[in-house]
Structure 1
């Protein structure tokens, strides 16, 4: 299947619409030329409303970690953004609900197969980590992120950049001191290589 056809099909997906309080509105960024993949959880309410991935405080922090300006971050030929669930799942007791379970089995393997140029996969949150690093499902977030060198330079598990993780970031200063600079440097090298 051509990538443009696949993207159109995913963008029009309604397989779990009856379970979504605000209806289906798949939000992703995809182009077969992308060299960086951001595997996230699911869009939040603000992203659902705008239709732009990471168009919120989490996205601002993520772009800072990656060392990317919005013009590069939102360039689908450079960065693919594929959350585990493409639609806003709704509000739960303590934050947003988990990504819908129908999404990944329906689309993920096809989309990943159509991304042949990925050099680095950034994995955000436990649902994305369970999919992309299934052997680490039992690890607490801190242990997983501390073991980042085991998966580097192909995959990098990160804490979610949400403001909800401010306490975690304060308790783990090594992350922004050691991991973030290496990440930003590698992102620049990958994109520089693409431009050459």
Structure 2
């Protein structure tokens, strides 16, 4: 299947629509030439409304962590953005609901198979962690992120950049001191090629 045909099918996907409070609106960024993959959870309500991935406070923090501009981030030759669920799943008791499982089952392998130039996969959150690093799914987030060098330079598990994680960031200053400088250096090297 051609990339264009696959992306057209993804854009029209309504597999989960009966379970989505705001209906289906798949939000991804994809180009087979992309060199960095952002594997996240699912779009939040602001991203659902805009149709632009990470067009919210989480995105601002993520771009800051990566040390990239908005133009660099939204260049699909640089970044592919594939959350585990492509549509906003709705609100839960303590944040958004988990991504719908149907989405990854239907589309993830097909899309990943077309990404042959990925130099780094950035893994945000436990659902993406369970998929991309399945042997680590029982590890608490802090332990996983502390062991980041085990997966470097091909994978980098990160806490979600949501403002909800401010407390985690304050409790774990090593993250900004040790991980982010390495990440920034890697970003510059990849984007310079």
TM-score by length of 1: 0.98
2:2 is aligned with 1:31: no
**Alignment partner, residue 156 of structure 2:** 156
Q: Is the partner of 1:121 in helix, strand or coil?
A: strand
**Alignment partner, residue 3 of structure 1:** 3
Structure 2, unaligned runs of 5 or more: none
| Separation of aligned partners in 1, 2:44 and 2:189 | 30
| Separation of aligned partners in 2, 1:5 and 1:165 | 38
Q: Is the partner of 2:38 in helix, strand or coil?
A: strand
**Alignment partner, residue 16 of structure 1:** 16
**Alignment partner, residue 74 of structure 2:** 74
| Separation of aligned partners in 1, 2:44 and 2:131 | 20
**Alignment partner, residue 63 of structure 2:** 63
Q: Is the partner of 1:86 in helix, strand or coil?
A: coil
| Separation of aligned partners in 2, 1:90 and 1:120 | 30
Deviation at 1:117, TM superposition (A): 0.3
Kindly tell me the number of residue pairs found equivalent between the two proteins: 193
**Alignment partner, residue 111 of structure 1:** 111
Deviation at 1:185, TM superposition (A): 0.7
| Separation of aligned partners in 2, 1:135 and 1:85 | 21
* Segments of 4+ moved more than 4 angstroms: none
**Alignment partner, residue 101 of structure 1:** 101
Q: Is the partner of 1:102 in helix, strand or coil?
A: helix
Q: Is the partner of 1:180 in helix, strand or coil?
A: helix
Deviation at 1:154, TM superposition (A): 0.1
| Separation of aligned partners in 1, 2:6 and 2:79 | 17
| Separation of aligned partners in 2, 1:129 and 1:11 | 25
| Separation of aligned partners in 1, 2:75 and 2:11 | 17
Structure 1, unaligned runs of 5 or more: none
Deviation at 1:11, TM superposition (A): 1.0
| Residue deviations 1:125-160 (CA, integer Å, cap 9, x gap) | 000000000000110000000000000000000000
**Alignment partner, residue 40 of structure 1:** 40
| Separation of aligned partners in 1, 2:2 and 2:75 | 20
Computed over aligned residues only, the root mean square deviation of the Cα atoms, in angstroms, reads: 0.5
| Residue deviations 1:65-106 (CA, integer Å, cap 9, x gap) | 001100010001110000000000000111100000100010
| Residue deviations 1:28-71 (CA, integer Å, cap 9, x gap) | 00000000000000000000000000000000000000011000
**Alignment partner, residue 122 of structure 1:** 122
Deviation at 1:8, TM superposition (A): 1.2
**Alignment partner, residue 185 of structure 1:** 185
